[in-house]
Amino acid sequence: MKKRLFSIAVLMIFPILLTLSGVLFAQQEKETDIKIISVQEAHELIDENNENSEFVILDVRTIEEYVTGHIPDSANINYKSPKFKEEVSKLDKEKIYLTYCRSGTRSTKSAEMMKELGFQNIYMIDGGIIAWNKAGLPVEE
């Protein structure tokens, strides 16, 4: 009789535990979502984090593209480089990253890779430097 009650209790509790583990996993996944933001939102984010050493603007274009004009104070790691993943994996995963490229394709791939590597706070500029320039926002050469 005790075995039967134990079995029934286990069968009743197991689905609850399974559901709770799924909820916890979903919450963990949600924390690492990539946030796609407009150029105006990106500009505000940059202004808000002007003095924040935990905030990094990451340009993933080639160096040739970067020198023709980039967002002020941005770092450059070329997505097309064979060492891109290795270089990105050396970055502090706890910092806040704002990524961009020319139009959004490379920064999307870069942000996905960063997410897979365990980065927690990733923003991406929708439309890349093209949208940034179209909005008349500041660049430096």
Specify whether 27 is catalytic: no
Which among 39, 46, 101, 129 is annotated as catalytic?
Answer: 101
> Could you tell me how far CA 95 lies from the centroid of its own chain?
10
- The DSSP element (H or E) to which 128 belongs, if any, is helix 128-134
CB-based burial label for 9 (10 Å; 0-12, 13-18, 19+): exposed
Q: What single-letter DSSP state applies at residue 137?
A: -
Amino acid at 123: Y
Q: Pairing relation of β-strands 55-59 and 75-76?
A: parallel
CA–CA distance, 130 with 135 (Å, rounded to integer): 9
Kind and range of the H or E element at 21?
helix 2-31
Catalytic residues: 101
